[in-house]
């Protein structure tokens, strides 16, 4: 079986997204393995670097609509029952926007080609539910809000001038046993950029829900209306819709081709195309591949079903008849019967979030 040529072994490294040194995408080849190495796992921060946290004095505070307010050290958290699973993270700004649309789209992940604002990692921590149960949630609880230790002026135009990274979850997702307070990523303590010493992991939901550098947990008796909750990470329902916004939660059904990687030169002959597919909390049931720009489709084989909340890996044989330029595509369907759309679903929106369209993947065969 043929493999693609990549030239001399390239040094893989994170790619700045032109967002002022705040954020980095993983290189396309980092998405070829089941688990994304931590040093190649994307970084999406609203302010540059990571807040400094003194581990000796660090306490996670839990308060609000609870009978028993808590102040927990890392040692206390680590003495509770551990959870461990893989979870795929995707920033809702992941995925190139088609040329015709890119010019009008205001995305903070400017000029990223490829799909590297995502990755799959193994996380270890405790169930958030165990901590909330210890605090005894009161009868008026509606949502749980997570306060990060990072703050400053908002990155886009500096307005608001001072805001903290805070997000909330509905009770149902907050109390789901798989929603985790994690201190370990891929067998190591969290790195500063990924939220040391403690972050939330909201498996199956877009990345912005998983608050890093957790300072406090607030159980609320009303819906949270903070800036990063209601002014960001939403999509317009349509130019004339009655309801204006949908707030993104679970990751939409999506797939990517990871081999050949962009820029690989592929030889004529038999080739195995491979990639990943995921769909939030749902299972992937089908992946189809086209090697002729969407004219005809062939079913791909699932080679690794999801582990916990990881992506599903797949491959598909490609008998390449001749040299030339080919347009490959992959299209996933989940167990609810939802299939990736052929076009960007929120064209009118201007932000580019939640793009789960079938992408074109250009390949040069030599
Ligand atoms: N405190 C805090 N948490 C945060 C963010 C942030 O800027 N501050 N960024 C969010 C976004 S938009 C994403 S996509 C994920 C990225 O996680 P990672 O940088 O570990 O890949 O973290 C989320 N949690
Ligand atoms: Mo994100």
User: CB count, 10 Å around CB of 140?
Assistant: 11
Residue 86: strand, helix, or coil: strand
Q: How far apart are CA 55 and CA 73, in angstroms?
A: 9
Q: Is 293 left (phi over 0), alpha (psi -120 to 50) or beta?
A: left
Q: Which residues have C-beta under 5 Å from ligand 2, the single-atom ion?
A: 44, 91, 207-208
pLDDT at 108: 47
pLDDT at 207: 98
Q: Residue 46, CB half-sphere, CA atoms under 13 Å: how many?
A: 27
Q: Which of 149, 168, 212, 232 to mutate to test the pocket of ligand 1 (most atoms within 8 A of CB)?
A: 212
60 token code pair? 């996670």
Ligand 1 binding pocket (C-beta < 6 A) is 41-46, 89, 91, 148, 150, 165, 194, 207-208, 210-213
143 token code pair? 């949502």
Q: Chain-centre distance of CA 173, in angstroms? A: 17
Take atom 20 of ligand 1 and give the residue whose Cα is closest: 194
Instruction: Please give the distance, rounded to the nearest whole angstrom, from the Cα atom of residue 32 to the centre of ligand 2.
Output: 21
**pTM of the predicted model as reported, rounded to 2 decimal places:** 0.95
pLDDT at 366: 96
Instruction: Please give the distance, rounded to the nearest whole angstrom, from the Cα atom of residue 102 to the centre of ligand 1.
Output: 23
pLDDT at 11: 85
Q: Evaluate the CA torsion angle 207, 214, 183, 71 in order and state its sign.
A: negative
Atom of ligand 1 nearest to the CA of 45: 7
Q: List, for the chain, all residue ranges whose pLDDT scores fall below the cut of 70.
A: 1-10, 98-113
From the list 90, 85, 309, 52, the residue with the least C-alpha distance to 182 is 85
């Amino acid at each position: 079986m043929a493999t693609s040529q990549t030239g001399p072994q390239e040094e893989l490294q994170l790619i700045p997204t032109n967002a002022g040194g705040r954020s980095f995408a993983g290189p396309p080849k980092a998405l070829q393995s089941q688990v994304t190495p931590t040093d190649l796992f994307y970084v999406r921060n609203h302010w540059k670097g990571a807040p400094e946290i003194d581990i000796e004095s660090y306490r996670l505070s839990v308060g609000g609509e609870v009978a028993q307010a808590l102040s927990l050290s890392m040692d206390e958290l680590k003495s509770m029952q551990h959870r461990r699973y893989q979870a795929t993270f995707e920033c809702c700004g992941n995925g190139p926007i088609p040329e015709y649309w890119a010019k009008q789209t205001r995305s903070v992940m400017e000029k990223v080609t490829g799909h590297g604002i995502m990755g799959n990692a193994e996380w270890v921590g405790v169930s958030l539910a165990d901590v909330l149960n210890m605090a005894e949630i009161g009868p008026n609880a509606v949502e749980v809000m997570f306060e990060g230790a990072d703050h400053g002026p908002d990155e886009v135009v500096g307005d608001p001038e001072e805001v903290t990274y805070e997000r909330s979850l509905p009770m149902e997702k907050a109390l789901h046993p798989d929603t985790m307070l994690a201190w370990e990523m891929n067998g190591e303590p969290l790195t500063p950029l990924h939220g040391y010493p403690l972050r939330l992991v909201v498996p199956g939901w877009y990345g912005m829900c998983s608050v890093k550098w957790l300072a406090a947990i607030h159980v609320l008796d009303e819906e949270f209306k903070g800036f990063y909750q209601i002014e960001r990470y939403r999509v317009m329902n349509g130019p004339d819709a009655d309801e204006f916004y949908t707030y993104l939660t679970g990751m939409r059904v999506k797939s990517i081709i990871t081999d050949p990687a962009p820029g690989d030169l592929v030889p004529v002959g038999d080739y195995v195309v491979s990639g990943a597919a995921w769909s939030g909390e749902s299972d992937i049931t089908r992946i189809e591949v086209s090697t002729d720009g969407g004219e005809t489709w062939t079913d791909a084989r699932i080679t690794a079903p999801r582990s916990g909340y990881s992506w599903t890996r797949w491959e598909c044989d490609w008998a390449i008849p001749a040299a030339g330029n080919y347009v490959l595509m992959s299209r996933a369907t989940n167990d609810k019967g939802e299939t990736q759309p052929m076009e960007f679903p929120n064209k009118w929106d201007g932000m580019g979030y939640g793009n789960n369209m079938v992408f074109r993947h250009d390949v040069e065969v030599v």
